[in-house]
Amino acid sequence: MSENGVASGRIAFLGLGHMGAPMAANLVKAGKKVIGFDPFPAAAEAARALGVEVAGSAAEAAEGAAVVLTMLQTGQQVLDVYRGGEGNPGLLANATPGTLFLDCSTINVAEAREAAETAVRAGHRFVDAPVSGGVVGAEAATLTFMVGGEDQDFAEVEPLLGFMGKRIVPCGGHGLGQAAKVCNNMILGVSMIAVSEAFVLGEKLGLTHEALFDVAAHASGQCWALTTNCPVPGPVPTSPANRDYQPGFAGTLMAKDLRLALQAIEQTGVAAQMGPLASRIYDEFAAGDGARRDFSGIITDIRDRSSQD
């Protein structure tokens, strides 16, 4: 597939959830021909309302596409869509030779590399490009893409990603986009717990939220979890804390990403302690109210447990 084919060809967009629908809509706004699909009718209808043409099946959406973009929940779903199953040959078998398969899901590194190997063996190309920035970033086209793949494929897909995001970072070969995402979100999960614990400690010591924020935001405690996604209402008016922790980036998604980090830690033998601890904390949070709340709502869990001491 030529560079012109990727730049001007039709895009199949599979997965039209809270992130996928606005991403697909931004491609449509950029003048791209996008055919989407989602097995959940409500998601498909929401995407249609944003101007995305919706097909009746993944195969229908992908037929003749220059780019097949997936935004799915798990690596197994990505592999299943690619390979198919009994009575379903899968997208790799039906795609035009040289089709670019672009996976923007967040999956583990091993699954991303398996997807790449499977696509390449079938005569296609593969790029993993997980995102950071949440629903707000997807709607505003300000996402960060962490990209793993061949240099030529990155060069061809970069303009396309630019319609959905503000920062596109080449991270190396296949799977390394996912590696960067896993490492980044482990930092985010650990730092959100630390920031939340600090605010609860400040409350116990008599500090106002504003005083602690004004100090930490301009001192060595400064971080994204504090200055952009502050877990208490007031200091950052756009943070989910001002909307009763409506996500945003849900606690279940943080728990999932930290489990991916934990898998990578175990596979590589890294002597990590904070990442596994954060994974356990968010697993517990996501098993309760955190399933419906932004991940910054972890502060409410810390506060509740502290009040019992």
Give the H or E element holding residue 305.
Answer: helix 298-307
Which DSSP string do the residues of 137-170 spell out, in sequence order? Answer: HHHHT-EEEEEES-HHHHHHHHHHHHTTEEEEEE
> Distance between CA 124 and CA 118 in Å, rounded?
9
> Distance between CA 224 and CA 29 in Å, rounded?
29
Choose, from 32, 181, 204, 256, the residue flagged as catalytic: 181
Q: Are 13 and 35 in contact (CB under 8 A)?
A: yes
> Distance between CA 64 and CA 162 in Å, rounded?
23
Number of helices (H) and strands (E), helices first, in the chain? Answer: 15, 9
- For CA atoms 263, 269, 270, 273, give the dihedral sign: positive
> Distance between CA 82 and CA 128 in Å, rounded?
14
Is 181 assigned a catalytic role? yes
- For CA atoms 146, 173, 279, 76, give the dihedral sign: positive
Cα 209 to Cα 23, 53, 89, 225, 247: the distances in Å are 35, 46, 57, 14, 21
Number of CB atoms found within 10 A of residue 35's CB: 20
Cα 67 to Cα 64, 95, 153, 243, 279: the distances in Å are 9, 10, 11, 37, 34
- Any idea what the Cα angle at residue 270 is, between residues 269 and 275, rounded to 5°? 125
Which residues are annotated as catalytic? 181
